[in-house]
Structure 1
């Protein structure tokens, strides 16, 4: 959920000289008329640049030229081979996607992001010995253990990672949580009252953790050159940057981002169930999140979801209802009933039935 998505864009900047043409009349001599056709007619585009046929390349010229067609055929054929050779399956869902970005680059991006966040929010991070940090650490440890038990998860993404938990107690920070490539986990204390309990926190952490299990960062980076090439082709046709970017966002980038968010919801729900967290709480968590968004005029609803990187909370609640049967099956197969009964009885005897487990710490 939480708005952290890595994307790269390339906006081509094409500059053309200003060519002035005079009206053609019967009084023009043949050399003048020839010069007119050599230079070509010009027109002003919506982005205030001039265009026209000036001997440059275009889609039609490529298709009419035999050599260009051969190059285009080789390029498209090589692209298909490259795409198929780099197909990978996402864990749990089995969705196939092309990832050609090496893991080492993914980790470098995670390290760069970690240093940047620490410079900005390091002074707000609670110490490792703080009860809230320990609470988050315990919940995440169970999720990590459940991921190891899932046969569809690539264990090489988990081995050798230095997992670190950071609770950011920034009074001005929005409700947020994310897991960076390389194992750095960040939870902002403002999201803890929305989580309300361990199961709600597990919903959030398992979702963010699932982004790394599915390598969504690398998937986004792998798609960036494709978006750039499509943008260049569209620019040669329309010559309008703004409309091209809106079309790319609405038809490609945003739907792909929402697909990955939905996939992380599904993977996270199954992993939290395997970790013996109550999957029913995921629906209640998203209801609380929806109420928070509405009270603060946030979130994507209705037509706004079309241009949002994340599904609307109401959409996520509907999805959770559809997936709940599968999650409960995993929960039962993991023999969680006896564990949950003991844990719930112990917790209620100490804290009572309705008392939230999390509160924002103020200094």
Structure 2
């Protein structure tokens, strides 16, 4: 009986706390407010920056490029949402773009537009358009509330109380979940198939945002091919990974390309 009661409680939570994403149209579990996530993001983002070497964008061309590309992607996203009458979806966004000196091949975006790129990623992106593909992808995770969805799933899975502000109520578990879902590694995969669905959504809309920002979305295919080559020695079976296999991702990206190209207006990149 206890198990049945618990199942009914969990089911009721999923039914009453699901929202429809304004852009993707997909139903998402939403137990944590965007406002609280953005507040926590500011704290965690500043903490990460303070513990790492941030490359100055006033003296370093790569750091300046990260900021330039980031601003263009952010402007494209703002226009995309505005054109659809959804500007309120970006409420509270205060964009920041920083390059962190690290060999790690990584980039991420926290709620509220807190973005970091690692120098180890740049030899793989190789050019500004490929960097735009990555930033479009990572920022889509934030604006599409993917982290919010995964955190909500984790809270339910771990039976963490949902009353009040979970970040200020001394709930260490909640803070740990936030850190594991958002930067720097994002290794938590609560529901693996759903996580792969999020990855495809990030690829899809990330291409559109990069194209709107003036970057050729076709650059996504050679970039992910380079990533596939980089990962060739340490492949994880797809069933155990929250990211799609590289070959599947590339094929899926090709199907998104015609739509993305409709938004593409080239710019003269520096």
Shorter-chain TM-score category? Answer: 0.7 to 0.9
1:257 Cα offset (Å): 1.6
1:208 Cα offset (Å): 0.5
Unaligned runs of 5+ in 2: 160-188
Matched, 1:274 2:212: yes
Cα gap change, 1:152 to 1:213, in 2 (>3 Å): farther
Contact 2:100–2:117 (Cα < 8 Å) also in 1? yes
Aligned match of 1:149 in 79, 85, 88? 79
- Structure 1 distance, partners of 2:223, 2:23, is 22
1:226 Cα offset (Å): 3.3
- Structure 2 distance, partners of 1:228, 1:142, is 39
Contact 1:293–1:299 (Cα < 8 Å) also in 2? yes
1:210 Cα offset (Å): 0.3
Residue in 2 that maps onto 1:227: 157
Aligned match of 1:102 in 14, 21, 33? 33
- Structure 2 distance, partners of 1:312, 1:323, is 17
1:157 Cα offset (Å): 4.5
Aligned match of 1:313 in 232, 246, 250? 246
Relative to the length of structure 1, the TM-score reads 0.59
Contact 2:150–2:190 (Cα < 8 Å) also in 1? no
Residue in 1 that maps onto 2:147: 217
Contact 1:91–1:152 (Cα < 8 Å) also in 2? no
Residue in 2 that maps onto 1:161: 93
1:180 Cα offset (Å): 1.5
Residue in 2 that maps onto 1:126: 55
Cα gap change, 1:275 to 1:157, in 2 (>3 Å): same
Matched, 1:330 2:266: no
Partner secondary structure for residue 263 of structure 2: helix
Partner secondary structure for residue 330 of structure 1: coil
**Superposition CA RMSD, Å:** 2.7
- Structure 2 distance, partners of 1:156, 1:134, is 29
1:164 Cα offset (Å): 1.7
Partner secondary structure for residue 100 of structure 1: coil
Q: Which has the larger radius of gyration?
A: 1
Unaligned runs of 5+ in 1: 1-56, 63-71, 230-250, 348-363
Relative to the length of structure 2, the TM-score reads 0.78
